Amino acid sequence: MKKTILMAIAVFTMIACKKEETKEVTAVVPTENFKSFGDSITADGVISKEELLAKFETLKEGDTVEVKFRSEIKDVCQKKGCWMNMSLNDEKNAFIRFKDYGFFMPLNAAGSEAIVNGKAFISVETVDELKHYAKDAGKSQAAIDSITEPKVSYSFLSDGVLIKE
């Protein structure tokens, strides 16, 4: 009887102490091939542009969400690099500005892959702001004059950026 009880205790102990194998899938993004701008950030916790778009679609004006995402830079302010657009899908972009104008992007960064950290929010841009941004982007006068309505946009205030070299 003692042997049976000891055997049962040993079996239960082995089952209880068995190491459970889990496979956690996380994207490991090495940052040694990235140039840093603004606050020093890492690629840990980065989400895809599709995941960010899904978050944007749940926000109302006034809401913010802290996030780090990865996408392609579509265009950059050609005067001093004070803003950029990053792709969310074929039709939608996130408009990125930089915290306290504390840093700027290289003027030739369009087409580069980037990781951006900061606050995502919905904003309504006035006609005057839209015309200013179009002028900064080097758009034609006809394109600038065609702006007649405010625009609801996906905005992002970044405190740090990594651009793939």
Residue 113 makes CB contacts below 8 A (sequence gap 6+) with 70, 71, 72, 73, 163, 164
Structure tokens at 109: 């960064």
Q: Which residues is 121 bridged to in the sheet?
A: 64, 155
**pLDDT tens digits for range 147-163:** 999 887 899 999 999 99
**pLDDT tens digits for range 16-39:** 554 444 333 444 555 568 999 999
Q: Parse the chain into domains and list their residue ranges.
A: 29-164
Q: Which residues is 34 bridged to in the sheet?
A: 164
pTM of the entire structure? 0.68
Q: How does the average pLDDT of the chain come out, rounded? A: 86
Spatial separation of the C-alpha atoms in residues 105 and 86, rounded to whole Å:
12
Domain 29-164 is of which CATH architecture? Beta Barrel (2.40)
Residue 137 makes CB contacts below 8 A (sequence gap 6+) with 75, 77, 78
